[in-house]
Structure 1
């Protein structure tokens, strides 16, 4: 009789353990399916290395035993940076592959295209690879969350620096006529607050414009002593060169997305780029100051073993590593409740999370009404050869009315 009772107790305990596991499509006792969309071809194919790094990172996690015993199956498709193709691939991932979530789909246009579909289907569109502020709107799009500092935060950070150091300056702004450029410009204006009159001129351009010379000449003629370039890499390179050729010497601020030395500053002319100010939040693996940093050493070991063909001088690999660590953290927090709703709940409950490759002092924090994981950046200045950080880490919160 005693044996029968014991057996019943064990059986009911096992039943309780089974009952605690909650799965949505894409999850089993042994696997978690994650979807991804990248521009492996087309005009933004240089970003494809992000998807390759993430695949390598999840391979490492799987070799280490997975997450709570489950291996990650990472399914990544090419959309060639085309919104219609992104919609096609999102449908395939959700309806055919039955992934739990889509992680790190890249680009403002592609993510904008799939956003409504993902929210209608109630499938997480997590840690979007874009700084578009629209990807942090939990009220209207509760299933979509960005990750990197959004463009408005970046604009506010520059505004704070200018108000602190150059409060009597006149500002000219060159901006890209799309969501990214408008977001950045709005952040700058919001950050300046009642000093927004410091902006005395602005000119926009289209990414397809062959030349931007006339806009730069007009901004030079405005008499401004601060110049902003909110432009894609090619437009920023043209702007730096033209400002230099005009002999104009404003305090020059450059969008964070256009700071690559190889593809922007060198083509523009390093002599013209000297003194430019921008921002960063991920450790630059080429910067000698991180030579003995334990976090960078871990990243290098990962790259050498799992992505040996990857370029360790390409900061996109460091970016992808940070994002992947955050994704793993969310899945760990989910435990055995691997539902889409719980994925979003845990993504909106990150507290002072950091990564090996985030700059010291930069923390990831989210809440149900704050879908902007990173709102801090460090200012940096180009010395003619490399970027040098200066000052403190600055926060540029959006939607909370606060700048610290």
Structure 2
């Protein structure tokens, strides 16, 4: 059989195309689950825009603005993000309702940045049954990352609350071994989780706790609880509460002229949302642990991440308060999602998004403290596992001591 030059050239071209397709499978085939297409990625979210934890609504607003910026820059691999964010009012039944709407009616690719331990607990089994990514939860609930075999579709962003509690316990035993501890704790899954970490960390020293006072989200104030804790003779106040109640507790400290060592959990360490309303003078010397850079810290005035964040705030959220670190948190968590979506490339299936999410190797989301990075695996769903201890001095949080590896505290 006679073979012409054209046949040979055509054969070589076909072979070359096949070779390229084999070497670069993303060029050969685009794969999508619901919520993704050549032009769009649909991301779902709920946060408490109303109710007792409405301070966290800032997280959803910041994410919406961040994705608007990304879309104006051309999107993610050429696709625009359609961000659907609903109000759950920090109510688990409402969270279930909104999640079903997002998954079954809106057809999202992933649920992202959902706020609160109680609400995320209420939807976790549903999201895993639906095999839909439940990503970068705005919660450090230990249950969200410590059982990936049973809940492979769920991944938090925050360091675990249990680890944070253990870190505070370690600090207390090291620096304040003779302290008498009074604890204010929220009566829900969040409070139980971080308080368990404290008790686990104290071990056989739990007798250091001389008083504990619980409150419900429906309570008007925590004034009576604070009076009880002071009367106990406690000289170390462990403030395990969310922003509204943390501010009330801090203000009450001043009113009672009670000056114990004050440890404030990370979820309520915002300068703008908590400390300024409570009175800066009442926060002096308070201690917390964090992993997100503070926009008010002059040490970051020339920091590249912070410059980008400030430019973002000026253009996309000019009404935002730089004293409120929840804006920085929303920015950081949104940058992490965009990174994962970019890494997924043209394989935007639910399965591949989770494969990418569980394969991070030292990725540094925007505004994470130096020395803190995100690493995951199929058996480790806690991306952020390091904490920086901080002390409130003057009008801001100041780093004190090095990075604490919370893997050692779990």
Report the TM-score when normalising by structure 2: 0.88
Change (3 A) 1:235 1:57: closer
User: Which moved further from structure 2: 136-145 or 74-83?
Assistant: 74-83
Query: Which residue of 64, 72, 83 maps to 2:73?
Result: 64
Once the 2 structures are TM-superposed, how far is the Cα of residue 266 of structure 1 from its aligned partner? 3.8
Map 1:225-244; keep pairs closer than 5 Å: 225-244=235-254
- Post-superposition Cα deviations, 1:346-371, rounded to whole Å, max 9, x if no partner, equal 21121111133112112112222221
Change (3 A) 1:309 1:213: closer
Q: Residue 205 of structure 2 corresponds to which residue in structure 1?
A: 195
Query: Which residue of 309, 315, 331 maps to 2:325?
Result: 315
- Post-superposition Cα deviations, 1:245-300, rounded to whole Å, max 9, x if no partner, equal 44433211112222233443344343332222122221111222222211101112
8 Å Cα contact 2:272/2:325 also seen in 1: no
Query: Which residue of 80, 102, 111 maps to 2:111?
Result: 102
Q: Distance in 1 between matches of 2:323 and 2:237?
A: 29
Change (3 A) 1:361 1:14: closer
Query: Which residue of 163, 169, 184 maps to 1:159?
Result: 169
Change (3 A) 1:155 1:27: same
User: Which moved further from structure 2: 56-65 or 356-365?
Assistant: 56-65
Residue 123 (str. 1) matches residue 129 (str. 2): no
Q: Residue 11 of structure 2 corresponds to which residue in structure 1?
A: 5
User: Which moved further from structure 2: 348-357 or 198-207?
Assistant: 198-207
Change (3 A) 1:79 1:180: closer
Once the 2 structures are TM-superposed, how far is the Cα of residue 188 of structure 1 from its aligned partner? 0.9
Residue 54 (str. 1) matches residue 56 (str. 2): no
Query: Which residue of 94, 101, 106 maps to 1:92?
Result: 101
Once the 2 structures are TM-superposed, how far is the Cα of residue 208 of structure 1 from its aligned partner? 2.3
Q: Residue 363 of structure 2 corresponds to which residue in structure 1?
A: 353
User: Which moved further from structure 2: 316-325 or 218-227?
Assistant: 218-227
Q: Distance in 2 between matches of 1:217 and 1:56?
A: 42
Once the 2 structures are TM-superposed, how far is the Cα of residue 211 of structure 1 from its aligned partner? 4.2
User: Which moved further from structure 2: 295-304 or 118-127?
Assistant: 295-304
User: RMSD in angstroms over aligned alpha carbons?
Assistant: 2.5
Once the 2 structures are TM-superposed, how far is the Cα of residue 63 of structure 1 from its aligned partner? 3.3
8 Å Cα contact 2:52/2:217 also seen in 1: no
Q: Distance in 2 between matches of 1:175 and 1:144?
A: 26
Count of aligned pairs between the two proteins: 400
Residue 324 (str. 1) matches residue 368 (str. 2): no
Map 1:132-171; keep pairs closer than 5 Å: 132-136=141-145, 137-171=147-181
Once the 2 structures are TM-superposed, how far is the Cα of residue 384 of structure 1 from its aligned partner? 4.4
User: Which moved further from structure 2: 125-134 or 76-85?
Assistant: 76-85
Map 1:12-51; keep pairs closer than 5 Å: 12=18, 17=25, 20-51=29-60
- Post-superposition Cα deviations, 1:124-169, rounded to whole Å, max 9, x if no partner, equal 1111112222221313222111101222121111112222222232
8 Å Cα contact 2:375/2:384 also seen in 1: yes
Q: Distance in 1 between matches of 2:191 and 2:374?
A: 24
8 Å Cα contact 1:123/1:143 also seen in 2: yes
Q: Distance in 2 between matches of 1:42 and 1:118?
A: 24
Q: Distance in 1 between matches of 2:339 and 2:395?
A: 36
- Post-superposition Cα deviations, 1:212-240, rounded to whole Å, max 9, x if no partner, equal 34433333333332221112223223323
Map 1:382-401; keep pairs closer than 5 Å: 382-397=392-407
Change (3 A) 1:267 1:330: closer
Q: Residue 123 of structure 2 corresponds to which residue in structure 1?
A: 114
8 Å Cα contact 1:157/1:395 also seen in 2: no
Report the TM-score when normalising by structure 1: 0.89
Once the 2 structures are TM-superposed, how far is the Cα of residue 15 of structure 1 from its aligned partner? 6.9
Q: Residue 373 of structure 1 corresponds to which residue in structure 2?
A: 383
8 Å Cα contact 1:298/1:356 also seen in 2: no
Q: Distance in 2 between matches of 1:211 and 1:395?
A: 35
Map 1:175-194; keep pairs closer than 5 Å: 175-194=185-204
Q: Residue 4 of structure 2 corresponds to which residue in structure 1?
A: none
Return 5+ residue gaps in structure 2 as ranges.
1-6
Change (3 A) 1:289 1:98: same
Q: Distance in 1 between matches of 2:312 and 2:113?
A: 20
Change (3 A) 1:207 1:172: same
Change (3 A) 1:271 1:4: closer
Change (3 A) 1:7 1:77: same
Query: Which residue of 293, 296, 304 maps to 1:283?
Result: 293
Once the 2 structures are TM-superposed, how far is the Cα of residue 13 of structure 1 from its aligned partner? 5.6
